[in-house]
Structure 1
């Protein structure tokens, strides 16, 4: 079932104002659908119509990622394995995306572009070697978001294409982050205690 959007939700999604939606509705450019109770709403077909995206134009994309430039051999192996999988499965790939960046970094340029294109309905199928090639944490959310936008995520589950060293580096990054927060909290408590003592004196 296609996801339904209330006018303000749809306006935010496509980057216009609700006033613009009302104007389009009145002019016939994009006519809102109506519920039984006569409330206006939009769905994915309206996004496709607005951006002139035809079903046959929606893409199948393979996304390959490693964390650092020193893992170029891992990236090459990942790409080769995905090529073999697509070939043996009879999957025609429209676009290959390669990215170097940590799996815990959700600000990766190509990753953000990919998420945007999924939301805009441009992508029919996304293939990845393993869950953590897309992101180290929060995969369930991104999978849900993809399904809401009629994009299928195919996980080849090639464990060998998920470098163990990356996990070690990511775990160290987590420990470092929480250590800094803990240090900051202790420093805050110390300063607070000092301020209270000075106030009482």
Structure 2
């Protein structure tokens, strides 16, 4: 008999993953007379069988736009991804919508998705374009996902010419730094106002 923490350790997963599998009906805990949840060696063998891990993983669709003014584009992106998933016969467990720049790798929902991948909870991640996940470093993110048993499906595989790709990358860089510069200018004006007010 294994309590949930012991069972999770035996199968190399976290207790939260075991609880999620229970909610999804993929595994069923037994109960003692006092109501204590427990698992057995048979449960360990079942979970460690080839194929169980893949069937227990989620399919997640991640959609992103860069700014709040593009929320209409976000809705269109979600709609296009719904059609894509229906066409591929993909049953989606979770939809993630985020507003944030592609060069910002500290986006809250993006990090949550990557954390879930590293915990082995995501079997398939679907995105519209590579740059929806990140403007740079997609190949590394794909490598991390693959090491954790997650396949990234890119709906639009249209490749740009090297020149067009470079132009898009440069525009993204200019946009990011212009936003930072604008933020610094606002901060500079506020600071000057504060100093002017304090000198009175």
- Please classify the TM superposition score into its range, dividing by the shorter chain length: 0.5 to 0.7
Q: Is the 8 A contact 1:48 1:121 kept in 2?
A: no
The whole-number CA distance in structure 1 between the counterparts of 2:178 and 2:108 is 24
Q: SS at the partner of 1:111?
A: helix
User: Any stretches of 5+ residues in structure 2 without a counterpart?
Assistant: 22-51, 159-164, 182-200
Contact 1:127 1:154 in 2 (8 A): yes
Quote the residue 1:133 is aligned against: 132
* Counterpart for residue 113 of structure 2: 114
CA deviations on 1:159-179 (whole Å, 9 max, x unpaired) are 6xxxx9x866522146669x9
Instruction: For residue 145 of structure 1, report the CA deviation from its aligned partner.
Output: 0.2
Q: Which among 170, 173, 182 is matched to residue 172 of structure 2?
A: 170
Normalising by structure 2, we get a TM-score of 0.59
- For this pair of structures, how many residues does the alignment match? 136
Helix, strand or coil for the counterpart of 1:121? Answer: coil
Specify the alignment match of 1:63 in structure 2.
Answer: 62
How many angstroms does 1:47 deviate by? 2.8
Map Cα deviations across residues 132-182 of structure 1 (whole Å, 9 max, x no partner): 0000000011000000000000000176xxxx9x866522146669x9xxx
Moved over 6 A (4+): none
Separation of aligned partners in 1, 2:100 and 2:176: 16
- Give the CA deviation at 1:29: 7.2
Distance 2:71 2:143 in 1: 30
Structure 1 spans left out of the alignment, 5+ residues:
1-23, 32-44, 180-201
Structure-1-length-normalised TM-score? 0.58
Q: Tell which has more relative contact order, 1 or 2 (C-alpha 8 A, sep 6+).
A: 1
1:67-117 deviation line (CA, Å, top 9, x unaligned): 000011111111111000111111110110000000000110000111100
Q: 1:28 to 1:88 in 2, by over 3 A?
A: closer
Instruction: Report the alpha carbon displacement of residue 48 of structure 1 after superposing the two structures with TM.
Output: 6.2
8 Å CA contact retained: 2:116, 2:122: yes
**Residue 58 of structure 1 contacts residue 122 of structure 1 at CA under 8 Å; is this kept in 2?**
yes
Are the structure 2 counterparts of residues 51 and 90 from structure 1 closer, same or farther at C-alpha, using a change threshold of 3 Å? closer
Report the Cα offset of residue 46 of structure 1: 1.5
Matching residue of 1:197: none
Structure-1 residue corresponding to 2:88 = 89
CA RMSD, aligned part only? Answer: 3.1
For 1:90 and 1:110, how far apart are their aligned partners in 2?
25
The equivalent of 2:32 in structure 1 is: none
**1:75 corresponds to 2:74:** yes
Query: Structure 2: how far apart are the matches of 1:29 and 1:58?
Result: 16
